[in-house]
Amino acid sequence: MKLYWTMPQGIKQHHRRELELYETEFDERHLPQAWRHLERAHILAQPWPREHSYVHWRMLRFGFFIKSPKEVLGQITRLVFGGVKSFVGKVPVGNTGGANVPPLRPMEIPEDLRQILNSQQQFLD
């Protein structure tokens, strides 16, 4: 079993960028675009418990902001279990992390994110 703890720099820079883009869009109240950047940050963060949990924390805050009980409850559940799943390497690859999708469903990874993840494959094997 492979345990993931430190996100490789080659992925971390893209993860941070998605979170920055989220902040920009959120501040301008472009909420669908902001959410999309959180989803992309989630896809990049899944294998690493700290970053994965942090994205779910941001999604939880977003859920409160939009006053969505479904999102809030979904994110609380994901916060409890998501980091553990990352730690033991059992994540549904590509899952976007929102309460609008089943938490264990693997999903297609957008091509640009797939290339970023594949470029760091030595860290993911």
pTM score, whole prediction = 0.90
Tell whether 1 is covered by a domain: no
Tell whether 51 is covered by a domain: yes
Tell whether 18 is covered by a domain: yes
- Give the amino acid at 64: F
Residue 92 burial (CB count, 10 A)? 16
Q: Give percent helix, percent strand, percent coil of the chain, each to the nearest 5.
A: 65, 0, 35
Measure Cα distances from 94 to 68, 82, 105 in Å.
23, 13, 8
Tell whether 125 is covered by a domain: no
- Give the amino acid at 28: E
Q: Give the per-residue pLDDT at 95.
A: 93
Residue-level pLDDT, tens digit, the chain, 125 residues? 455 678 889 999 999 999 999 999 999 999 999 999 999 999 999 988 899 999 999 999 999 999 999 999 999 999 988 766 776 667 888 999 999 999 889 999 999 999 999 887 654 44
Tell whether 98 is covered by a domain: yes
Q: Give the per-residue pLDDT at 85.
A: 72
Number of structural domains (the chain) is 1
Tell whether 123 is covered by a domain: no
User: Is residue 75 within 8 Å of 20, Cβ to Cβ?
Assistant: no
Distance CA 88, CA 73 (A): 24
The boundaries of the domain holding residue 45 are 9-114
Q: Indicate the angle between helix axes 111-119 and 9-27, nearest 10 degrees.
A: 150
Tell whether 2 is covered by a domain: no
